[in-house]
């Protein structure tokens, strides 16, 4: 469906994103008044919750606003995550798979910058990429399910597969 109707998919995702922002914002505002929140974090909870509610309402104004906010949200989160991964890898020389973490951190930063600089083009390309990935994942999952079904009952290589009966009588019968 994503590949067949990318524009409509973006509209639906924009509305869902707006709903997500509204719901999380309301819970953050409510959490600001909870007894378990330290005093110095109450203002931060309230501020982020109110901003989330405001952005959620902006998403309902129109498709362009919600798509823009979604692209910026993803872009900034990828940028921040990429910066965190890169600095973590750069500051920990004994870290396992440090090179991969550094590589993915740089890729995350670049992808975030692209989404921030060109949000509409990037989010459209991201939508099509997700559509293709969903199809590929579905084919792989179907193939995997068939392979598992073939291998059911086989405990070791070369063992004969056991057929399971379709009807399992009750033990008392």
- The per-residue pLDDT for range 138-160, each reduced to its tens digit, is 898 998 888 877 777 554 555 56
Residue 173 in this model has a pLDDT that exceeds 80: no
Residue 101: closest CA among 127, 128, 82: 82
Would you list the DSSP string of 148-171? HHHHTT--STTPPPPPPPS----T
pLDDT in tens, 93-109: 888 888 998 999 999 99
Average pLDDT value for the chain? 82
Tokens (6 digits) for 75: 């872009």
Half-sphere exposure of 118 (CA within 13 A, CB side): 8
**Annotated domain spans of the chain:** 6-149
Residue-wise DSSP of 67-132: HHHHHHHHHHHHHHHHHHHHHHHHH-TT-TTHHHHHHHHHHHHHHHHHHHHSHHHHHHHHHHHHHH
CA distance 91 to 79: 18
pLDDT category of residue 113 using cuts at 50, 70 and 90: very high
Residue whose token pair is 């179907």: 142
User: Does the reported pTM lie above 0.75?
Assistant: no
């Amino acid at each position: 469906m994503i590949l067949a109707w990318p524009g409509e998919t973006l509209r639906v995702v924009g509305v869902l994103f707006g709903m997500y922002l509204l719901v999380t914002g309301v819970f953050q505002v409510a959490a600001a008044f909870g007894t378990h929140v330290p005093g110095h974090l109450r203002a931060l909870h309230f501020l982020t919750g109110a901003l989330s509610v405001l952005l959620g309402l902006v998403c309902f104004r129109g498709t362009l606003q919600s798509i823009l906010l979604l692209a910026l949200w993803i872009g900034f989160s990828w940028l921040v995550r990429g910066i965190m991964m890169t600095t973590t890898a750069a500051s920990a020389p004994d870290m396992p798979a440090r090179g991969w973490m550094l590589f993915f951190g740089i890729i995350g930063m670049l992808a975030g910058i692209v989404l921030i600089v060109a949000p509409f083009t990037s989010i459209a390309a991201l939508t099509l990429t997700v559509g293709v990935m969903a199809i590929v994942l579905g084919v792989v999952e179907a193939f995997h399910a068939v392979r598992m079904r073939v291998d059911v009952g086989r405990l070791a290589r070369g063992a004969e597969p056991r057929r399971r009966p379709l009807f399992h009588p009750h033990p008392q019968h």
